[in-house]
Structure 1
């Protein structure tokens, strides 16, 4: 799927857009799955809005914004499990991370037309810090994305700065790091944007008449362990390619409390 120069680009810039990872039939199956998940969540009264709160927009504007998001979508529909372990994904991950790659978690993000919420610029690292910083997002596009419908923006090379202090552990100062400071990454349905969890990224409001549906898979090296217990889930550690060299550390260290 990718060449040596693509790996060099990722290492230097902290991101890489890979075209055509998924075909039209696979994308359509996942679009249908997204719609069904939202419908089931609404019926279960678990439909949530994940629009970011904070001081980057006036309160009156924040109330208008909508962002549908659900974690661990591979628990909700098999099409996402197939996507997470897809041979094309494994082919890229094995070159960008190494031979032994694990899934950490997945997440669905849907920006509806006209008022789909922005993501202020941030790093993902504060949510699930790891010792070696191999953690990587693979943002799978289920719709064509451009500036008008809120495509992702990244700051090339920002992963080299290491972990940064965030406001409330959520986002960077919007005045110092406006979304416009990033490079827009337009993509087509079926494309995947890979970026390190230290790479500063965000996205503008969806001001178009088109939905923007993305599914994010977070991957890591099998030898990269959490530096604290932030955002650990039951599915963390699923092997995508290679093997787990640490036989005694194949599952998260959970404590189950009976209430």
Structure 2
């Protein structure tokens, strides 16, 4: 069981790397699930490149970069459903967020060897702004991640600056916020990096011969409501810990068409 984590470090720096949240057996199970999702997506002709476009790299380099990204992975494989509510995850989340924790969405990100695409520095806030800023990402590492294969980088304390202007609502000006200025979060398989959605983060391309696979779960406090009706996912609002104090807001107000 995960021991008490350094909540004060998270509050001050906007991120926290927690070691050994998942064991190797659980990691292997999720690795297999990632591969099968990619295969099923290709068979269904729903396989696409999620690499970010923009002016941070020359066009000829951008064309060569690949990033496999799919949302709502807990609808594609039960291993991720178990991971979302894993006792170790709940133990950390309730210390950082509080007793009532909701899932917002999930996704997987795979950087293939040698041409895995970068993520320019950005905040997640523009995608799903909330009133109280409890929203955080939990990036589950399924591989050893270092600077060579494009580990996540964060700017400590940047969450305190609030929302910053993004280019096209996607990423920050790369000249003002180059990825090299971020603190590299080197992690082993089974480690989880928790970071606030206002924390500036990004990653370099994967220049190694090793794959970098991450699964990301986005969580928030059940009493932290969106300020804009954006980024709705099926299953958002799933209670991971505690209870929902708001009976009439137990699920998003979406329309099935």
Instruction: Using structure 2 for the length normalisation, give the TM-score.
Output: 0.99
For the residue of structure 2 that corresponds to 1:105, the secondary structure is strand
For the residue of structure 1 that corresponds to 2:239, the secondary structure is strand
Q: After TM superposition, give the deviation of residue 2 of structure 1 in Å.
A: 4.3
2:206 is aligned to: 206
Distance 1:21 1:110 in 2: 20
Aligned Cα root-mean-square deviation (Å): 0.7
Q: After TM superposition, give the deviation of residue 256 of structure 1 in Å.
A: 2.8
For the residue of structure 2 that corresponds to 1:139, the secondary structure is strand
Unaligned stretches of 5+ in structure 1? Answer: none
For the residue of structure 2 that corresponds to 1:235, the secondary structure is coil
Distance 1:160 1:93 in 2: 20
1:125 is aligned to: 125
User: Given the alignment of the two structures, is residue 55 of structure 1 paired with residue 55 of structure 2, yes or no?
Assistant: yes
Q: Is the 8 A contact 1:2 1:18 kept in 2?
A: no
1:3 is aligned to: 4
Moved >2 Å (runs of 4+): 1-4
Distance 1:182 1:67 in 2: 20
User: Given the alignment of the two structures, is residue 177 of structure 1 paired with residue 177 of structure 2, yes or no?
Assistant: yes
For the residue of structure 2 that corresponds to 1:120, the secondary structure is strand
User: Given the alignment of the two structures, is residue 109 of structure 1 paired with residue 109 of structure 2, yes or no?
Assistant: yes
Unaligned stretches of 5+ in structure 2? Answer: none
Q: After TM superposition, give the deviation of residue 234 of structure 1 in Å.
A: 1.8
* Aligned positions of 1:52-201 closer than 5 A: 52-201=52-201
Q: After TM superposition, give the deviation of residue 230 of structure 1 in Å.
A: 1.1
Q: After TM superposition, give the deviation of residue 136 of structure 1 in Å.
A: 0.3
Structure 1 residues 193-226: Cα deviation after superposition (integer angstroms, max 9, x where no partner): 0000000000000000000000000000000011
Distance 1:234 1:35 in 2: 22
Structure 1 residues 110-149: Cα deviation after superposition (integer angstroms, max 9, x where no partner): 0000000000000000011111110000000000000000
User: Given the alignment of the two structures, is residue 235 of structure 1 paired with residue 235 of structure 2, yes or no?
Assistant: yes
Q: After TM superposition, give the deviation of residue 188 of structure 1 in Å.
A: 0.1
Q: How many residues in Structure 1 have an aligned counterpart in Structure 2?
A: 256
Instruction: Using structure 1 for the length normalisation, give the TM-score.
Output: 0.98
Q: Is the 8 A contact 2:114 2:208 kept in 1?
A: yes
